[in-house]
Amino acid sequence: MRVEELLKSNVILNQFFDSSDLAMGILDHHGNWIYLNSSHLKLLNYHKTELLGQHFLKHSHPECQDHYYNLVEEVNTATFGSITVEKRFIPKNGSIAWVKFSITKIFLNSFSKDPVFFCQSIDISEYKRIQEVSISSNANSIDINLNDIKFEKISSEFDRISKILDTLINADINTMIIAADIENNVIFFNKGAEKKLGYKAEEVVGKVQPIIFHDIEEVNSRMEELYRIQGKYYLGGDMVIEYNKINKMGNNEWTYIRKDGSKLPVHLVITPVQDNEGLTIGFVGVITEITEIKKYQTKLEQTNKELEFYNSFFTKIGSLTPSTVYVYNIKEGKNVYNNDAITTISGYTPAEIQEMGENFIPTIVVQENLDQTQERFKKLKTITDDEVVYHDYKIKHKNGNLKWIYSAEKAFSRDPDGNVIEIIGVGSDITEIKKYQSDLEEKNKELEQFVYIASHDLQEPLRTVSSYTALLLEQNKSRFSEVELQCAKFIEESVVRMKNQIKHLLNYSRLGLNSQFEIVDLNEIVKEITTDLALVIKENSAIIHYNHLPILKALRTEMRMLLQNLIQNAIKFKYKGRDPIIEISAIERETDFEISVKDNGIGINPKFFDRIFLIFQQLDTEELKNGHGIGLANSKKIVILHNGKIWLESKENIGTTFYFTISK
């Protein structure tokens, strides 16, 4: 309910205000007058229509407007508050009116979002005039009796103000207001206090002191605290009043005890009530429940503790890892955070990187990788929270040396539209690894060249042996005994076997050479294989199932060789009397594809699992001897070329499943 409506609806309240000799008014939350009683209009010598809607500072003395404005702002921004100052108004006749000006923030009801300000003014102009005369004449001996000064008669007795306030403050039953006389006896207990504390006014007014609503343990604790500060003990209500004095604007948090014994956290503002002689005749306490605020405070404290923990954890982890941990603002092109490891990796300190701002990336990333870096940032703007972007690039160290960095990056923060603003990443120095890789590639090339030359050179002696064996047989066949003929046959077979092994060795060494990774549809690869092996499949009544195989980046020729080896083995080593059934399937994972080739063949004894992928290793079983010992060795090398691994599961007489992974 608005103030104007409240006053219009309550004739008695309006009469109390208007008949009071005390100048009273109400400001809205902007500081504009929305109500003034007759005494206030008389004080300023204005008609009501000239003041309503006007800001209260408009008729304040110009020299003090900033000061008054700041004081009122202090009341407005405080959770609860009231303040009393000496203030100069400028009435309509242009004179200066000194007043004792009291302003209190209140909420009309529990639904009000904005407060209003209840104002009281006492004209002290005559007192100020006499005070100035007294000072200027050095009449320090003059005994000024304020009772003899002819102030405008004001009714400031506490019972009258209480009656006026009673109607206003009971409009909000969620705010507790408890008043006590100078002896600390409760003389006023509003409906808000009844609702929150569980007592009826008649149970407490004139019968108890406000101290009974306090938690006794808290009272004793603060009494000791006051003693340590002031060296004096205060008891009961005096302790509460004194404790409030030492806090700004008298604001304090306390624990009240309800009638049912439950605890109620509250915020308490105590304001002394004075008579027209300036003597304190009682106190008014404005109490507001802060249960929800305390819950939020507890939650906030817990959150802050967690933030401190994670911040400490993050900082310590960042100091332990040799990798640089960083947060980069893609939108602004600046590093937001770097751990100290960046100095070891780049030669620049985190502070230097901050100073470099947008120039950091162009300064540190080598020219040949700059375009790649910018493309990466474009991609990072649209990634999901689960995506990780990996990449390697070269940087220029502060000392001029070049280094290789491998980074993994994720989205860290987004704008309201969901676009990535900041990324978090971990960058590792892989310069030595790159060097080892380069050396290894060089050694592999040398090894491949050696194998090729060695294989080629071995062919000549074999051809010589084969030629002379054939010549011997041709010229001496009739003269050779059966044993000698058998020996010549063994020589020929061995030469043929040796030639085949050399050929397979050459093929093995050439796997991956001059091949380029390309997009490969495994469904098409398997279809081609089944077409080429159609006769073998038909002769063995084999059935091959495959569906929804992945499209991936691979070496096409090698990938076909891998799958063909596994399919041919599944047909070749079938279980006697059982038609081969081969199932090819795939699972997509975060970083790779897992592909399996399952058969129902003779199976493999687990003791052979370690040997099965070694080159030229034929297993010592009758069923598995019919091979060259190269197919699975080739398969393993092909998988390794795709940064994957290969393994198997098998049970004899039941079947075998070969698994292999291909990196994305």
DSSP notation for 326-345? EEEETTTTEEEEE-THHHHH
The pLDDT of residue 145 is: 40
Residue 396 has pLDDT above 90, yes or no: yes
Using alpha carbons, list the distances in angstroms from residue 543 to 121, 267, 515, 580, 632. 102, 82, 32, 6, 22
- Work out the average pLDDT over 413-438: 91
Chain segment 257-279, per-residue pLDDT in tens: 999 999 999 998 888 888 777 78
Cα dihedral across residues 444, 658, 564, 556: positive or negative: negative
Per-residue pLDDT tens over the stretch 298-343: 888 888 888 788 777 767 776 777 889 999 999 898 998 888 899 9
Q: Quick one: 257 exposed, middle or buried, by C-beta within 10 A (0-12, 13-18, 19+)?
A: middle
> Residue range 202-223: average pLDDT?
93
* C-alpha radius of gyration, the chain, whole number: 48
Backbone angles phi, psi at 425, to 5 degrees: -145, 160
Nearest Cα to Cα of residue 638 among 497, 517, 546 = 517
Residue 16's alpha-carbon distances to 38, 233, 583, in angstroms, are 11, 42, 96
Measured in whole angstroms, how far is the alpha carbon of residue 385 from the centre of its chain?
Answer: 12
Class of the CATH domain delimited by 173-289: alpha beta
- pLDDT in the model for residue 503: 77
Q: What is the pLDDT of residue 301?
A: 85
pLDDT of amino acid 549: 96
Confidence of residue 9 (pLDDT cuts 50, 70, 90): very low
Residue 446: alpha-carbon gap to chain centroid: 52
Per-residue pLDDT at 589: 93
Amino acid at the residue 519: I
Q: Mind listing the pLDDT tens digit for each residue in 31-76?
A: 888 888 888 898 888 888 899 889 888 888 888 777 777 777 777 7
The answer to whether 264 touches 289, Cβ cutoff 8 Å, is: yes
Give me the mean pLDDT over the 562-583 stretch.
Answer: 95
- Give the model's confidence band at 173: pLDDT under 50 very low, under 70 low, under 90 confident, else very high: low
Amino acid at position 186, single letter: V
Count of helices and strands (H, E) across the chain: 22, 22
* pLDDT at position 423: 93
- The predicted pLDDT at position 406 comes to 94
Least confident of 413-427, 447-461, 650-664: 447-461
Q: What DSSP element (H or E) covers 355?
A: helix 350-356
Assess contact for 543 and 578: CB atoms under 8 A: no
pLDDT of 491 over the 70 cut = yes
Model confidence band, residue 293 (pLDDT cutoffs 50, 70, 90): confident
* Band (134; pLDDT cuts 50, 70, 90): very low
pTM (predicted TM-score): 0.40
Q: Considering Cα of 148, then 149, then 151, then 156, what sign does the dihedral take?
A: negative
Helix orientation angle between 431-476 and 482-510, rounded to the nearest 10 degrees: 160
Backbone angles phi, psi at 511, to 5 degrees: -60, 130
* Structural tokens at position 556: 């096409």
Of 111-125, 154-168, 619-633, the one with minimum mean pLDDT is: 154-168
pLDDT of residue 31: 85
Domain boundaries, given as residue ranges, for the chain: 20-153, 173-289, 321-429, 435-510, 517-663
Range with the largest mean pLDDT of 488-502, 509-523, 646-660: 646-660
The residue-averaged pLDDT of 568-588 equals 95
d(CA 186, CA 164): 18
Contact between residue 347 and residue 398 where contact means Cβ atoms under 8 Å apart: yes
Which is more confidently placed, 490 or 347? 347
Tokens for 473?
């047989």
Q: Which element (helix H / strand E) includes 508?
A: helix 482-510
Contact 251/81 with Cβ under 8 angstroms? yes
Burial class of residue 640 (count of CB atoms within 10 Å of its CB; 0-12, 13-18, 19+): middle
DSSP code of residue 216: H
Mean pLDDT, rounded, of the chain? 82
Q: Do domains 20-153 and 173-289 have the same CATH topology?
A: yes
DSSP string for 122-133: EE-HHHHHHHHH
pLDDT over threshold 80, residue 11: no
Q: What is the pLDDT of residues 343-373, one digit of tens each?
A: 999 999 999 998 998 999 999 999 999 988 8
Cβ of 67: how many Cβ atoms within 10 Å? 13
Average pLDDT over residues 530-547: 95
Residue position matching structure tokens 């503790």: 305
Can you tell me which residue has the tokens 């109490």?
Answer: 287
CB-CB neighbours of 245 under 10 Å: 11
Residue 12: the pLDDT is: 43
pLDDT at position 195: 93
Q: What is the fold, at CATH topology level, of the domain defined by 517-663?
A: Heat Shock Protein 90 (3.30.565)
pLDDT higher at 480 or 113: 480
Is pLDDT above 50 for 250? no
Tell me the sheet residues that pair with 616. Answer: none
* Calculated CA dihedral for residues 122, 128, 131, 133, nearest 10 degrees: -150
**How confident is the model over 607-663, as pLDDT tens digits?**
888 888 887 565 555 544 455 568 898 899 999 999 999 999 999 999 999 999 999
C-alpha to C-alpha distance for 590 and 579, rounded to whole angstroms: 36
pLDDT confidence tier of residue 162, bands split at 50, 70 and 90: very low
Answer for the pair 633, 613: CB distance below 8 angstroms, yes or no.
yes
Average pLDDT of the segment spanning 80-84 = 66
Do residues 616 and 626 touch, judged by C-beta distance below 8 A? Answer: no
Mean pLDDT of 379-384: 90
> Distance between CA 485 and CA 140 in Å, rounded?
150
Please give the share of the chain, as a percent, with pLDDT higher than 90.
Answer: 36
Q: Are strands 581-588 and 543-546 parallel, antiparallel or unpaired?
A: parallel
The pLDDT assigned to 260 comes to 96
For residue 394, give both structure tokens: 């070269």
Say what the pLDDT of residue 511 is.
78
Tell which wins on pLDDT, 624 or 425.
425
Looking at domain 20-153, what is its CATH homologous superfamily? PAS domain (3.30.450.20)
Q: Which helix (H) or strand (E) holds 661?
A: strand 655-663
Residue 488 carries which DSSP code? H
Phi-psi category of residue 145: left, alpha or beta, with phi > 0 → left and psi -120 to 50 → alpha? beta
C-alpha span between 425 and 408 (Å, rounded): 5
pLDDT over 50 at 142, yes or no: no
Specify the CATH number of the domain 321-429.
3.30.450.20
- What number of CA atoms fall less than 13 Å from residue 286's CA on the CB side? 21
